[in-house]
A and B are shown apart, each in its own frame.
Chain A
Amino acid sequence: MHRKALILGLLASSLATLSFAAELTVGSSNMTSYIDPGKDHSNVGSQFYYNTFDTLIDKDHSKADGAFVPGLATEWHMVDPLTMEFKLRDGVTFQNGEVLNADDVVFSFNRMFQATFAPYVVRAKDRLANFTKAEKVDNLTVRVTSVKPEPLWETLINMQQLMIVPEDYIKGLSGDPAVAEDSDYEAFGLAPVGSGPYKVAEFIPGDRVVWEKFDGFWGEKAPFDKVTVKTIPEMATRITALKNGEVDIITNLPPDQLATVESDANLKTAGMVTPLFHLVIYNTLNEKMDDPKLRQALNLAIDRDTLNEALWLGKAVVPDSHTMAEFGELYMPELKTFEYDVEKAKALLAESDYDGSEIRMDTSATYYTNGFLAMQAIAEMWGAIGVKTSINVDDKWTGGDPTMNVRNWSNPMYFSDPFGSFGVMWAPGGPAEGEGRFKADEDYAEKWERFRFSAKVEDRKAAYAELMDRIENDPPFLVLYRPFESWGLRKNVNWAPFPGHIPYVLDFRAGSITID
């Protein structure tokens, strides 16, 4: 009798364990090589940060223009025009048990603001250049100082690059435990620790991330005990794994496979228009491409709606300018920077100095979804107005190559403001100018400065409209569309990418996902 009871008891307890051991498995098309929010801004890496790390100021990601909400800071206010003070949440610990206090915040911020480690230097320069330092006031109070009055305090503090990391843990990873060395940062990327709801239990670069629920999380606890993201690079294998029940979610489902997944009674898809633009860019300083009329003609000759129908089943969004709803108050759908007009294109081409020679179009074979196909279609469209082209498939980035004529590129939204997309990519001295394919003159720089730093939203919008005028009349690029990204799911998984995140974030926090 005792034995029977014991067996029944064991059975019941193991069943209880089974029913509560909530697990999720994701089949991903790619995997990051490191997990360090400070040095990363890639579309691959962005999948992995939000579950592990916190920012001082969080955001309601359920809406495209969601409000900022307290994160690791409970309140914040300006103490003078250049200084913001943050009150930190009390009683927060990192996943390794260390208490999170002002020292960690100062360390996390200053490793970026005053960066010496090359990957931080590069990331900080294009978006954090206006911040000089973070200082500790007391154990739970931090002040951050800017060079010029900053109109985007919350937006920038909410950025992935300013997620909070543990100072003592990082310093102790190699060499002198009192000093942050480059080797400490390298080691951190392989053994990350944050304060978010999931701790990284296993990370094999290029292969898998295994998260476990962090019971000491300060907010609502994670809905899963364990989440595994494993790489399945081949699309057919990924879909099969989903159908077989080996995984619950798959990433990177191409448009032509949506019907395959949706036709299965146990599966469904989730998708969203990604906060990212695919672009055609021109080397405006190359002698073949230096006539604005030629580039205007090329822009006018591209039928972007047809590209959308043919390549994205009409699910992508073709914007009239470099703008999207995720920019919040700075969203400007009224701007008409790009249009399709073949006749006007032909007229401008005739007026231009185009000599009938071949224009080289560079593209990687697979990097941008549908990128190669889009380039082939565009070559046909340009051919229709009399422009000769040759397509050069090369995985090497040629944006800085002086012989480059035309290529594809993407402008992701690194944070929810036009500064986080156009503003970073097309800043005076930014990537486009730095690579020598675009020149920002004084007038452009003045407009950019007003757009970036004006205190009033209206002034920023007016300056942005002026910048878009410049882009229209002397185009260094054309926005093709915002791609539609899809995920495949088992039917019992209630998850969809939140529109308030930067592209590709896998958000498995409480409130973001449930399982029936």
Chain B
Amino acid sequence: MLEFALSRLLRMLITIFVIVTGVFFATRMSGNAVDFLAGEGLSADQRETMIAYYGLHSSIGEQYWLFIRSFFDGNFGLSFLERRPVATIVMERIGPSLQLLVGAIVVTLVIAVPAGTLAAIKRKSWLGSTIMGAAFLGYAIPNFVLAILLILIFSFWLGWLPSSGNGSWLHFIMPVTALSAALIATLTRYTRNAMLDVLSQDYLRTARAKGLPEDRVIFKHALRNALITILSVLGLQIAGLAAAGNVVIETVFAWRGIGEMLVTAALRRDYPVLQFGVLSVAVAVILINTLVDIAYGIADPRVRLSRA
């Protein structure tokens, strides 16, 4: 077990190292940051002054060495734009992003798993078709279109919900809906397919033959087996969202999250924010994957056994 944990940890570290190194060099290959930050109208010597100010006058090798050293001394530097520690900026942003993400996951699980299960059981009835039709629609509408539609209907026309910000629970309704719609659609489809798969298995027939009530057959025997697929899909989707996938929603709803921060930092070449932001997201994604792995073990004892 210890060997497994250590090898897992090593793999995590190597992955993070490769990602941040990639980001470090990729950002610097697209021109000097000063041309994105200080922008127009600097004379040659003013430009040099600002390059030195941002610490970009030293060679790429020296900058990389400083960057690597920051992992050990914990000093990840100041944002080029805001001139405050990048850790402060990222920490400010993680909370709102997590709130949105957790909200979307909870809503997704609460809706998609029962809906997918129902769609599988009632696959030949109007209910099954309706659920899958709605799922198709949810999947087909891009989230930014849905976000604008929601604002138009519930804020602009009806005036029921606040259009942006995150001051109260009312503020969560539209961004969480916009963010989870496609997630619900995807997970409903996967749940249905996984359930259909499981429902046709021999052991389900055996369970029914034993005289077990139908709800126990469905929830204890079928759903639990379908959970592996559901968890895998959910894990992938969440990792995608955590890695700046919700940037559009954050921008539309003026929600100060990490996705919006990363995109701004990338556009303005705010290297320190970008580097530390990507590092944080990479760690988060790896943690999510680890959690999903643990959840596999809970859902399926065979996974636990194979790793022991």
| A contact residues vs B (CB 8 Å cutoff) | 33-34, 118-119, 121-122, 125-126, 186, 189-190, 204-207, 230-234, 236-237, 239-241, 243-244, 246, 395-400, 409-410, 425, 429-436
Judge whether B43 and A429 touch: CB under 8 Å.
yes
- Contact partner, B53, options A119, A240, A241, Cβ 8 Å: A119
Contacts of B164 in A (CB 8 A): 232, 234, 237, 240-241, 246
The residue among A118, A126, A230 with the most chain B CB atoms within 10 A of its own CB is A118
Q: Is B206 an interface residue (CB 8 A)?
A: no
Complex-state Cα separation, A435 to B148, whole angstroms: 42
Residue of A nearest to B49 (CB): A118
Q: List 17 extra interface pairs beyond A186-B83, A244-B162, A246-B164, CB under 8 A.
A: A118-B49, A206-B82, A206-B264, A233-B254, A236-B148, A236-B152, A237-B151, A237-B163, A240-B152, A240-B155, A244-B156, A395-B36, A396-B30, A397-B39, A399-B40, A409-B41, A431-B41
Contacts of B156 in A (CB 8 A): 239-240, 243-244
Contacts of A243 in B (CB 8 A): 155-156, 159
- Contact partner, A190, options B45, B83, B155, B267, Cβ 8 Å: B83
Complex-state Cα separation, A126 to B84, whole angstroms: 27
- Contact partner, A246, options B46, B50, B162, Cβ 8 Å: B162
| B contact residues vs A (CB 8 Å cutoff) | 30-31, 35-36, 38-47, 49-50, 52-53, 78-79, 81-84, 92, 148, 151-152, 155-156, 159, 162-165, 251-254, 256, 264, 267
- Contact partner, B35, options A122, A204, A400, Cβ 8 Å: A400
Judge whether A237 and B254 touch: CB under 8 Å.
yes
Complex-state Cα separation, A189 to B50, whole angstroms: 17
Judge whether B43 and A234 touch: CB under 8 Å.
no
Known contacts A33-B82, A431-B42; A118 and B162 CB within 8 A of each other: no
Complex-state Cα separation, A240 to B151, whole angstroms: 7
Contacts of A121 in B (CB 8 A): 46, 49
Known contacts A230-B165, A399-B40; A186 and B78 CB within 8 A of each other: yes
Known contacts A186-B83, A205-B84, A234-B254; A118 and B52 CB within 8 A of each other: yes
Contacts of A234 in B (CB 8 A): 164, 251-254
Contacts of A246 in B (CB 8 A): 162-165
CB distance from B135 to the nearest CB of A (A): 27
Known contacts A233-B251, A237-B253, A246-B162; A125 and B46 CB within 8 A of each other: yes
Contacts of A230 in B (CB 8 A): 165, 254
Judge whether B35 and A396 touch: CB under 8 Å.
yes
Complex-state Cα separation, A234 to B251, whole angstroms: 7
Contacts of B254 in A (CB 8 A): 230-234, 237
Q: Which 7 A-B pairs have the closest CB atoms?
A: A434-B43, A118-B53, A431-B41, A240-B163, A205-B82, A33-B81, A232-B254
Complex-state Cα separation, A395 to B162, whole angstroms: 32
Judge whether A237 and B82 touch: CB under 8 Å.
no
Judge whether B256 and A400 touch: CB under 8 Å.
no
Contacts of B148 in A (CB 8 A): 236
CB distance from A322 to the nearest CB of B (A): 15
Judge whether B42 and A434 touch: CB under 8 Å.
yes
Residue of B nearest to A433 (CB): B43
CB distance from A107 to the nearest CB of B (A): 20
Complex-state Cα separation, A430 to B156, whole angstroms: 48
Residue of A nearest to B41 (CB): A431
CB distance from A18 to the nearest CB of B (A): 19
CB distance from A117 to the nearest CB of B (A): 8
Complex-state Cα separation, A236 to B253, whole angstroms: 10
Residue of B nearest to A410 (CB): B40
- Contact partner, B83, options A122, A189, A430, A434, Cβ 8 Å: A189
CB distance from B254 to the nearest CB of A (A): 5
Known contacts A34-B82, A399-B40, A434-B43; A236 and B52 CB within 8 A of each other: no
Residue of A nearest to B144 (CB): A234
Residue of A nearest to B167 (CB): A246
Residue of A nearest to B261 (CB): A206
CB distance from B44 to the nearest CB of A (A): 5
Residue pairs across A and B with Cβ atoms less than 8 A apart, 21 shown, are A33-B83, A119-B50, A125-B43, A206-B256, A230-B165, A236-B151, A236-B252, A237-B151, A237-B164, A240-B163, A244-B156, A244-B159, A244-B163, A246-B164, A396-B35, A397-B36, A400-B44, A409-B41, A429-B43, A431-B42, A434-B43
Contacts of A233 in B (CB 8 A): 251, 254
Contacts of A118 in B (CB 8 A): 49-50, 52-53
- Contact partner, B42, options A190, A204, A435, Cβ 8 Å: A435
Judge whether B44 and A397 touch: CB under 8 Å.
no
Contacts of A239 in B (CB 8 A): 156
Complex-state Cα separation, A241 to B151, whole angstroms: 10
Judge whether A237 and B252 touch: CB under 8 Å.
yes
Complex-state Cα separation, A34 to B79, whole angstroms: 11
Residue of A nearest to B44 (CB): A434
Complex-state Cα separation, A383 to B92, whole angstroms: 50
Judge whether B163 and A241 touch: CB under 8 Å.
yes
Contacts of B52 in A (CB 8 A): 118
CB distance from A496 to the nearest CB of B (A): 24
Contacts of B44 in A (CB 8 A): 400, 434-436
- Contact partner, A204, options B47, B49, B92, B264, Cβ 8 Å: B92
Residue of B nearest to A399 (CB): B40
Complex-state Cα separation, A189 to B81, whole angstroms: 11
Residue of A nearest to B165 (CB): A230
Complex-state Cα separation, A490 to B131, whole angstroms: 43
Residue of B nearest to A242 (CB): B163
CB distance from B82 to the nearest CB of A (A): 4
Contacts of A206 in B (CB 8 A): 81-82, 256, 264
CB distance from B48 to the nearest CB of A (A): 10
CB distance from A475 to the nearest CB of B (A): 18
Complex-state Cα separation, A234 to B43, whole angstroms: 33
Contacts of B162 in A (CB 8 A): 241, 244, 246
Contacts of A410 in B (CB 8 A): 40
Contacts of B152 in A (CB 8 A): 236, 240
Complex-state Cα separation, A399 to B36, whole angstroms: 12
Judge whether B31 and A396 touch: CB under 8 Å.
yes
Judge whether A434 and B45 touch: CB under 8 Å.
yes
Complex-state Cα separation, A239 to B163, whole angstroms: 9
CB distance from A130 to the nearest CB of B (A): 17
Judge whether A425 and B151 touch: CB under 8 Å.
no
Known contacts A246-B162, A397-B40, A399-B41; A122 and B84 CB within 8 A of each other: no
Contacts of A204 in B (CB 8 A): 92, 256
CB distance from B161 to the nearest CB of A (A): 9
The residue among A231, A243, A396, A410 with the most chain B CB atoms within 10 A of its own CB is A396
Contacts of B78 in A (CB 8 A): 186
Residue of A nearest to B47 (CB): A400
Complex-state Cα separation, A189 to B253, whole angstroms: 27
CB distance from B32 to the nearest CB of A (A): 9
Complex-state Cα separation, A399 to B162, whole angstroms: 42
- Contact partner, A122, options B40, B50, B256, B267, Cβ 8 Å: B50
